Structure 1
Amino acid sequence: MRQSSIPGSSGQVRPMTLFGDPVLHAPCAEVTEFGPELARLVEDMYASMYAARGVGLAANQIGVARRVFVFDCPDDEDRRHLGHVVNPRLVEADGVVVRGPEGCLSLPGLEAGTPRFDHALVEGVDLRGEPVRVEGTGFFARCLQHECDHLEGMVYVDRLEGWRRRRALRAVAKAPWSEPRAQP
């Protein structure tokens, strides 16, 4: 059976992990085995991201505490960036800090003005362990920083301060998908 070249077309949609689940609030483990299981995970991540209408997805957002993320995200010039990074490291985040609306598939229906740098550089490897370097500006830089944060056990709410953070946490508590649980 030949695999399709369309990312996610052979993947299964997995349920999204929601804010408050411990897997979202702890650093993810490095990937050490490269093979069919990792390839299946990446396909499932694409399928899950597309089903949820997202532009990026970290593995812990579908309950897998491994350092992997996928993306299909435009930049500010509407150029499409499509790919995945295994064991990513955010090696540069610089430029102008822009406070822009940011949402998350693990906090469905919510967003908040979140400060991010307008340039980011991520290095890691692909499914075969070959080096990958992904650079982005604008909205795509925001996506790269957001997904790297997930793998460190952070969500965008962790970047908020003061009244913005309090307002976001109140919105989480009122969200129809939220369950009463202790704050992380």
Structure 2
Amino acid sequence: MPTTQKPIVEKKKLEKSPLDLHFMGERVLRQPAKRVARVDDRIRKLIKEMLQTMYTSDGIGLAAPQIGIQKQILVLDSDWENPATPPLVLINPAIKKLDGPLTVAEEGCLSIPGVFLDVTRPSRVEVAYKDENGRPQKRVFDELPSRIIQHEIDHLNGVLFVDRVENELALTEALSKTEFSVRDVKAVR
């Protein structure tokens, strides 16, 4: 008989996020995250609060450095409108293979609100990681989940999506309309 997975959190906005987001320009976003040694109740509580923060902030992905915690944890939900689809939790994610055609798509980031720009990424990623129960997993993700995972793993390495934007004019224009500075971009290509 199949078992139904109990949702980690309800997919809804709270009045206030349990965790505070950090924004481009803050040093914490540029530091590499450390591996999680043990998945315990403290880590599961953090994951729950990360998911609540992501949903409350209208996000589809969140990495621990974005909330000031230097741990290799990311959460995502590419099917946020469907309450039956559980979000994904990746602890100590490691990209094993990038594959498929390169695709260009618009990305945004909870740490750079109001900025949306095109980024080129491979359409498929194979990732090894631990789930919220500490069990090793290995999966291939395509399309939107693949893009979200690559974006969030970048956060674990101190890289922001604007660092991957190739159109410098569009990048400068988008950042000039916000409080963010092009000086905080560290191009990686």
Q: What TM-score, normalized to structure 1?
A: 0.83
User: What is the DSSP-based 3-state SS (H/G/I as helix, E as strand, rest coil) of the residue aligned with 2:128?
Assistant: strand
Aligned to 1:121: 126
Aligned residue identity for 1:104: C
Structure 1 range deviating more: 15-24 or 45-54:
15-24
Q: How many residue pairs get matched?
A: 174
- Report the equivalent of 2:7: 6
2:50 alignment counterpart? 45
Q: 2:64 aligns with which of 54, 59, 62?
A: 59
8 Å contact from structure 2 (residues 24, 184) kept in 1? no
Q: RMSD between aligned alpha carbons? A: 2.6
Would you say 1:149 and 2:150 are equivalent positions?
A: no
For residues 122-141 of structure 1, the C-alpha deviation after alignment (integer angstroms, 9 at most, x for no partner) is 11112332102232111111
Describe how 1:1-184 pairs up with structure 2 within 5 A: 5-9=6-10, 13-74=18-79, 82-161=87-166, 164-176=167-179, 178=180
| Cα separation, partners in 2 of 1:93 and 1:107, compared to 1, 3 Å | same
Residue 94 of structure 1 deviates from its aligned partner by 1.2
The farther-off stretch of 32-41 and 107-116 is 32-41
- Give the 3 Å change call, closer, same or farther, for CA 166–179 of structure 1 in structure 2: closer
Look up the SS of the partner of 2:19 in the other structure. Answer: coil
Q: How far, CA to CA, are the matches of 1:121 and 1:20 in structure 2?
A: 31
CA distance in 1, matches of 2:117, 2:148: 14
User: How many Å separate the matches in 2 of 1:39 and 1:96?
Assistant: 35
Contact 2:175 2:182 in 1 (8 A): no
In 1, distance between residues paired with 2:38 and 2:172? 37
Structure 1 residue 13 displacement after superposition: 2.3
Separation of aligned partners in 2, 1:154 and 1:51: 23
CA contact (8 A) 1:57 1:69 kept: yes
Counterpart-to-counterpart distance in 2, 1:172 and 1:7: 35
Normalising by structure 2, what TM-score? 0.81
Hey, which of these two has a bigger chunk of strand by percent? 1
Structure 2, gaps ≥5 residues long:
80-84
**Aligned equivalents of 1:17 and 1:24: distance in 2?**
7
Cα displacement string for residues 34-66 of structure 1 (whole angstroms, at most 9, x for unaligned residues) = 212101110011001000111111001111110
